[in-house]
Amino acid sequence: MPESLPNPGVGEASRADETIADRPRVVLLDVDPYAQPVRAELRAAAAVLMPAMREAAASIRSVLDDDPQGRETFALLEREGLVDPARFAERYLLGVYSPRLTRRRQQRRAHLIGQWFELMGLPLSLSVEAMWLTLRLLHRAIAQLPWARERRSQLATFLTARMREELKAQIDGQRQLALVRHRLIVALEQWRVEATDWPEFVTGAMRRLSGRLGLVALALGRPDSEARIVYEFTSPGFMPYLEAIRRLRVGSLMLDASSTFGHSPQARAWRSRSIETNPSYLIDTGAAPWAPAAHSVGIHASAAFPIDDLGGQAAAVFALYGQWPRQFEPESARLFLQALRQVFAQAYVELGRRSRAEIIPAEMRRDHLQLLSRGAVQMVYQPIVDLRTGQPVAVEALARLEQGAEPLIQPSAFLAGFGRAELNRLFVLGLRMGLRQLAQWDAQSLPLALTLNLPPSVLVQPDCVRWIQDALAATGIAPQRLMLELLEDEETSTTAMRDIAIQHLATMGVRLVMDDFGSGYSNLWRLRNLPFHSVKFDRQLLADLDTDHQPRFLEALVAVARSLHLRTVLEGLETQDRVERACTLGADAGQGFALSPPLLPEQVPSWTANFEWRRRAAFERSRCLD
């Protein structure tokens, strides 16, 4: 910023009419404009300065009206009842030249003004003009003081110094907001690399964005089968808005352009495949149905962009809700939205595979997270039967969420909404509960092994091996009785960490199972070179068992596994015919509803006892027994 302020050329009506001889001479000296002597002088001159500041506040409107963007913005702020320019200017000027003002307080206030100008896309020259107009009127007032010329000149110098401090801080605030935008994008790019799944990325991104840049609320949704946008992830600030929508009985947001509720920025963004904004609920007729609800929670503008999949098709839509009208309209805001869209699109391509399944509304997801945080988890156990002996040899522990007297919540309803932290907690809870249950069955002379799914994101956690060691030590269960099912996927960035963890677990004696063998991401090289004990076949392959043709492909996969000295387990045995065919293929073990559905812990002993009788009849017919 230059040492002396240029004259911005204010209008004739605001020029001072004092003569050259009467005008105070301003000499810009190194002076502390907040020192006690300055405060005393401001108090002494208050009788003439305050009317001048009120006159300046009233005249500032003409400065705003001379700038089309300023005129439009402040007129809209008045319509929305957010700002009265004259009253705001008066209070602000009285604060800038208050005898009680400190440097720190002025810098804080001026920073906010500069940030607000940047947020709204207003040129800081408006503030310069307003401050210059004010200073000229104050100088004119000072000239009327019955003081010595030198004293008047010193007071003018003090006021000019404060104005310089004000404008410097405003410029710093403006730059600071631009820097905040840049740093947010950098932080989100880094978070995209660190996040292990889509829910974790979205919730973490919302946490980083919430409350910044005038953002009141954030939401991410996908259309359901009736073309209604269902919000799967929301920031805390979105829930009051959603409650207001329900209280006022506003219709659901639709994608259909023929619907009254199909013209919001979210719907337009989905259809146009581009960023869409709502400058004000008083201007955007498409957003008008939600205006009362939005205004009731302090939302005055919104923006949305589609999140594209790898094929360039919209997969979800991200919505931002702002505190100020027109805050998403400036070019700087548009550039930020474009960068944000790119980060989300890349994250979705890399992490969004699980989210492409069933839509889980944000409120339901929040309920599920609360249940998990309270430990409201019920493990059920599906027996695994040796197809050669007919003996139950293990159970797979499957997690459900408990909600009081209501039916247990199935994994398909909550797993896709869990991020890394939730999957970690679910695994540890399931592991501890399952091993404790084995110990209880041991006391009933019911020796079984336990299988449990170990998600890839949990496997690579630094504490994963310790969690397993601690759980085994706490129950006294031999590691060989714990079988962890590992699902291979296409993520390659953590392959080395996964392989190290697998070696550690094998060294402990834990048995490792490659889950969904035969799916698109199974890797025969890894299966041969890593210490796996068993393979579980992808249940989709079992469709071959329902045909009359020889299931040659599945038979070949069983042969490959046996050649690698791996035990083979076929899950999805839902019919007796599938059980018989699995035996014919030579699979070692089977799992499915034809053998047993998932059972509550207390049901397993009685099922085992009764299965002896059913086993003989069924398995003798299928000629599975040795």
Q: What is the CATH number of the domain that holds 315?
A: 3.30.450.40
Q: How far apart are CA 115 and CA 65, in angstroms?
A: 21
Any bridge partners for residue 484, and if so which? 452, 512
Residues 6 or more apart whose CB falls under 8 angstroms from that of 349 comprise: 309, 310
- pLDDT of res. 30: 61
Single-letter residue type at 592:
G
Asked, for residue 625, whether it belongs to a domain, the answer is no
Asked, for residue 84, whether it belongs to a domain, the answer is yes
pLDDT, one tens digit per residue, over 53-78 is 999 998 988 888 888 888 999 999 99
- Percent of the chain at pLDDT > 70 equals 88
Asked, for residue 141, whether it belongs to a domain, the answer is yes
H or E segment at 302? strand 301-308
pLDDT, one tens digit per residue, over 344-358 is 999 998 887 655 556
> Does 316 share its domain with 440?
no
Where is the domain boundary, 132, 151, 180?
Answer: 180
Q: What is the CATH number of the domain that holds 153?
A: 1.10.490.10
Asked, for residue 75, whether it belongs to a domain, the answer is yes
**H-type helices in 536-575, by residue range?**
552-563
> Does 25 share its domain with 53?
yes
Asked, for residue 620, whether it belongs to a domain, the answer is no
> Does 411 share its domain with 321?
no
Where is the domain boundary, 123, 148, 180?
Answer: 180
Q: Decide if pLDDT at 463 tops 50.
A: yes
Kindly write down the DSSP assignment for every residue of 491-520, as one continuous string. --TTHHHHHHHHHHHHHHT-EEEEEEETST
> Does 36 share its domain with 156?
yes
- pLDDT of res. 28: 45
> Does 503 share its domain with 368?
yes
Q: What is the CATH number of the domain that holds 524?
A: 3.20.20.450
> Does 157 share its domain with 301?
no
Q: What average pLDDT is seen over the chain?
A: 87
> Does 281 share its domain with 394?
no
- pLDDT of res. 339: 96
pLDDT band at 494 (very low <50, low <70, confident <90, very high): low
Determine the length of the chain: 626
Asked, for residue 186, whether it belongs to a domain, the answer is no
Q: Decide if pLDDT at 11 tops 80.
A: no
Boundaries of domain holding 308? 198-356
> Does 41 share its domain with 150?
yes
Q: Decide if pLDDT at 587 tops 80.
A: yes
pLDDT band at 5 (very low <50, low <70, confident <90, very high): very low
> Does 502 share its domain with 572?
yes
Residues 6 or more apart whose CB falls under 8 angstroms from that of 556 comprise: none
The strand order across the sheet containing 215-223 reads: 229-234, 215-223, 314-322, 301-308, 276-278
Label residue 423 left, alpha or beta by phi (over 0 means left) and psi (-120 to 50 means alpha).
Answer: alpha
Q: How many domains does the chain have?
A: 3
- pLDDT of res. 27: 43
Single-letter residue type at 228:
R
> Does 154 share its domain with 209?
no
Burial code (b: 16+ CB inside 10 Å, e: under 16) for 420-452 equals: bbbbbbbbbbbbbbbbebbeebeeeeeebbbbb
Average pLDDT over residues 414-431: 88
> Does 341 share its domain with 379?
no
Q: How far apart are CA 517 and CA 519, in angstroms?
A: 6
Asked, for residue 188, whether it belongs to a domain, the answer is no
Question: Tokens 């002076």 sit at which residue?
Answer: 31
pLDDT, one tens digit per residue, over 272-327 is 999 999 999 999 999 999 999 999 999 999 999 999 887 788 889 999 999 999 99
Q: What is the pTM of this model?
A: 0.73
Asked, for residue 2, whether it belongs to a domain, the answer is no
Where is the domain boundary, 123, 154, 180?
Answer: 180
> Does 130 share its domain with 84?
yes
Q: How far apart are CA 315 and CA 337, in angstroms?
A: 17
pLDDT band at 251 (very low <50, low <70, confident <90, very high): confident
Q: Decide if pLDDT at 166 tops 90.
A: yes
